[in-house]
Every structure is written in C-alpha cells, then in structure tokens.
Amino acid sequence: MKTSKAIAGLTLAAALGAGLGAAFAAPAQGGDVRKALQADYSDRDGAVARKDVGGTLAHYAPDFVGVSHTGKAHDIKEERADFVKTFTTLNIRSNVSRSAIQALALGKGGTEAQVTLRRHGVLLIANPQTRLNGVLVLDGVYQDTWAKRSGAWLLTREQEKTIKATMNGLPL
C-alpha cells in the first residue's frame, strides 16, 4: 500500500514537472531545496499571522512580479501596498495561513526553482459597525519561480492559478 502511494506520488510529480517546460526537470536531489523553500514559505506564513509586512516580503526579490488569476501583473511596491492595506483596513482579529509545496522542479543548474504551491488561509475579521465576526477563507494554487541569489532563495514571480474565497461559508 505504501509502495503504491509512493509510486502514484512520483507519477503525479513527474506529470506536474512535465507541464513546467523543458527548462525545469523533476529534481533528483531537490530535497534540500524543497526544505529551504518550505522554510521560506513557513516564515512568510508566520509573518502574515503577525501582520508583519516586512517579514511577509522578506523572501521576495526586488524585481518580483506577481500575476493574478485574471492575468493582471504587479510589482513589489504594489504587493507591499496590498499587504499594508489588508493588515490595516480589514480589522483582522486573527489569521492562519499555511503554504504547502505540491511540486518542485529545478532549472539553470539548480539556481532556479519552479514551485506549485497550495495556500490555505483563514481570517477572523471583526465588522466595526456590527461588532460581529466574520470568517474569511482563502484557498489558492500558485505557480512560483524562485532564484538563488547570493546564497539565498528569493521569490521572483508568483502567478495565482486559482483562488477560492468564502465569507462565513458563502462564496465571494
């Protein structure tokens, strides 16, 4: 049973890797890279929970480009402004964000990584007028590109593939 699950996982990873293009191949020795990138995602998740904009963006490259699921691109300044707005205007009581790498492929001699990521976030938001709490749930799949620069992995591109948002169980 464990062997068949492992084979199925490898097959899925290979299929996902095949869709990433010829520049990226399924890594044979990607375990260390996966651990490093997962640690960076966990750092980001912790910073989001603290509403720490600087910590949230600590692993982003200065030339970062984000792309929404609608295809609209934005830079690091816009990403920062969006986090500032989110952290200051939503009246967030608490939030939890969890990011998990689903697939990873290395390119350019191990100095670039392509990551398929699942992110799940739950925010408890207080409505200042009604004083009632609302629960915002966000689930998304992202295609991220990381580059190793000066010994550190930096997020250079994040493309939102899918996003599902609900407020108190109702779709937004």
| Long-range contacts, 119-122 (Cβ 8 Å, 24+) | 121/48, 121/95, 121/96, 121/97, 122/95, 122/96, 122/97
Mean pLDDT, residues 77-86:
97
Could you tell me the pTM of the whole model? 0.80
CA distance linking residue 82 with residue 57, whole number of Å: 11
- The percent of residues in the chain predicted with pLDDT above 70, rounded, is 83
Residue ranges covered by each domain of the chain: 2-171
The amino acid occupying position 2 is K
pLDDT confidence bin for 111, thresholds 50/70/90: very high
Could you report the per-residue pLDDT of 3-32, keeping only the tens digit for each?
333 323 332 233 333 333 333 334 445 689
Task: Count other C-beta atoms under 10 Å from residue 7's C-beta.
Answer: 10
Could you report the per-residue pLDDT of 112-156, keeping only the tens digit for each?
999 999 999 999 999 878 888 999 999 999 999 999 999 999 999
Give yes or no for a contact between 99 and 19, defined as CB atoms under 8 angstroms apart: no
Give yes or no for a contact between 159 and 142, defined as CB atoms under 8 angstroms apart: yes
CATH of 2-171, one of 3.40.605.10, 3.40.50.360, 3.10.450.50, 2.30.30.40: 3.10.450.50
